């Protein structure tokens, strides 16, 4: 699974990154997690508000920080 966290480094972006990493570890998912901070690269995903969560090339969330339970649910749906 390839996961990208889209965000320029704001507190919400950092929170989403940490929560996603925690959920991946908790679920035991084999995932490559990367952080995309370049605004031009973020814009290629078509999101208007960060943070964004991209799984296997598909934007699954943007503009807010979900709960830990919601992140787990999103990850399980996209396995």
Say which of 3, 5, 13, 54 is annotated catalytic.
13
- CA 19, 23, 20, 30 torsion-angle sign: positive
Asked if 61 contacts 31 with a C-beta cutoff of 8 angstroms, the reply is: no
Q: Examine the residue annotation and report whether 67 is marked as an active-site residue of this protein.
A: no
Q: Which of 10, 25, 39, 79 is catalytic?
A: 10
Q: How far does the chain reach from its first CA to its final CA, in angstroms?
A: 7
Return all residues near 19 (Cβ < 8 A) that are at least 6 apart.
65, 66, 68, 71
Please confirm, yes or no, whether 10 is among the known catalytic residues.
yes
Q: Which residues belong to the active site?
A: 10, 13
């Amino acid at each position: 699974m390839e996961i990208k966290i889209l965000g320029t480094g704001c507190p919400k972006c950092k929170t989403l990154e940490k929560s996603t990493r925690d959920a991946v570890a908790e679920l035991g998912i084999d995932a490559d997690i990367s952080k995309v901070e370049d605004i031009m690269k973020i814009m290629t995903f078509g999101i208007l508000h960060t943070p964004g969560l991209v799984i296997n090339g598909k934007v699954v969330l943007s503009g807010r920080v979900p709960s830990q339970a919601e992140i787990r649910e999103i990850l399980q749906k996209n396995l």
